[in-house]
């Protein structure tokens, strides 16, 4: 992210915290930035600015006090914040292990106390969630490909729009296999390739496009999508065998 873009994001985050605190008052426990925006993997064209708001209670009336702030945030073209109570954060840890493990790894507290850093995340349902998410996203990928297959630019965009989700799920696939994922996207792809003997070339090429070192029209999108799809299917098969 370029400096002026980082400064703009920080300015928006400060304003968001100010508005949330003004609206919620003492009911607001903490505001947390999480995901790629709290890591080195953020890309302004492909990544969301993910916000977790922890509140002491979340009645309908409490939610209504936040509506103007949420509308303002939407106008900044940002994803809707995630609202949870403090109790829900711990109670949901076994239901959303993927999200909360990632949140624990990459987060920055913007306001209040940090309840994420030492959050216990049970893994008894982790493998099941990984496979469910992989299969769901594969189904959507196939459906979208059918509608865009005649346009190379559409196929390329489809892969660019989905690669972040699959990279996250590949990392969690390795965790489910008992591996410690390598930090960084390319080292993780190399680790996955060694572990499962996969062709991860399309994913590396898509990362190059996102970084601007390769032009999208320089690639054969149809051929690349075929390998992209097969690689995802192979990862799902391996997770299913666990």
Digit-by-digit pLDDT tens for the chain (242 residues) are 555 777 888 899 999 999 999 999 999 999 999 987 887 665 565 467 899 999 999 999 999 999 999 999 999 889 899 999 999 998 988 889 999 998 998 899 999 999 999 999 988 889 999 999 999 999 999 999 998 877 888 899 999 999 999 999 999 999 999 999 998 899 999 999 999 999 999 999 999 998 888 888 878 888 999 999 999 999 999 999 98
Residue 135 is predicted with a pLDDT of 98
Residue 216 sits in the same domain as residue 130: yes
Domain assignment present for 72? yes
Residue 29 sits in the same domain as residue 99: yes
- What domain count does the chain have? 2
Residue 62 sits in the same domain as residue 141: no
Domain assignment present for 108? yes
Domain assignment present for 120? no
Residue 214 is predicted with a pLDDT of 82
User: Residue 173 sits in which domain range?
Assistant: 126-241
Domain assignment present for 117? no
Domain assignment present for 119? no
Residue 90 sits in the same domain as residue 143: no
Residue 106 sits in the same domain as residue 142: no
Residue 91 sits in the same domain as residue 137: no
Domain assignment present for 81? yes
DSSP H/E element including 82: strand 82-85
Residue 98 sits in the same domain as residue 144: no
Identify the sign of the CA torsion 208, 210, 216, 219. positive
Residue 22 sits in the same domain as residue 101: yes
Residue 149 sits in the same domain as residue 205: yes
- Can you list the alpha helix ranges (DSSP code H) found in the chain? 3-24, 60-64, 67-75, 86-91, 97-105, 126-148, 152-176, 185-196, 201-211, 221-241
Residue 65 is predicted with a pLDDT of 96
Residue 84 is predicted with a pLDDT of 96
Of 66, 88, 112, which residue constitutes the final position of a domain?
A: 112
CATH of the domain at 26: 3.30.460.10
Domain assignment present for 192? yes
Residue 9 sits in the same domain as residue 105: yes
Measured at the alpha carbon of residue 170, what is the angle toward residues 166 and 175, in degrees to the nearest 5? 145
């Amino acid at each position: 992210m370029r400096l002026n873009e980082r400064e703009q994001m920080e300015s928006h985050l400060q304003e968001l915290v100010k508005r949330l605190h003004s609206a919620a008052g003492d009911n607001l426990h903490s505001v947390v930035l999480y995901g790629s925006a709290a890591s080195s993997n953020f890309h302004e064209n492909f990544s969301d600015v993910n916000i977790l708001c922890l509140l002491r209670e979340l009645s309908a009336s409490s939610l209504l006090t936040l509506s103007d702030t949420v509308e303002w945030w939407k106008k900044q073209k940002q994803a809707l914040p995630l609202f949870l109570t403090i109790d829900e954060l711990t109670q949901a840890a076994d239901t959303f292990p993927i999200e909360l493990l990632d949140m624990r790894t990459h987060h920055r507290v913007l306001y209040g106390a940090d309840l994420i850093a030492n959050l216990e995340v049970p893994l008894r349902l982790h493998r099941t969630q990984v496979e469910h998410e992989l299969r769901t996203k594969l189904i959507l990928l196939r459906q979208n490909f059918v509608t865009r297959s005649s346009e190379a630019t559409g196929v390329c965009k489809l892969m660019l729009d989905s690669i972040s989700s699959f990279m996250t799920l590949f990392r969690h696939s390795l965790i489910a296999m008992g591996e410690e994922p390598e930090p960084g996207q390319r080292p993780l792809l190399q680790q996955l390739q060694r572990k499962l003997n996969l062709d991860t070339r399309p994913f590396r090429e898509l990362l190059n496009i996102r970084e601007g070192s390769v032009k999208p029209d320089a690639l054969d999108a149809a051929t690349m999508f075929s390998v992209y799809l097969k690689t995802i299917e192979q990862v799902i098969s391996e997770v299913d065998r666990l």
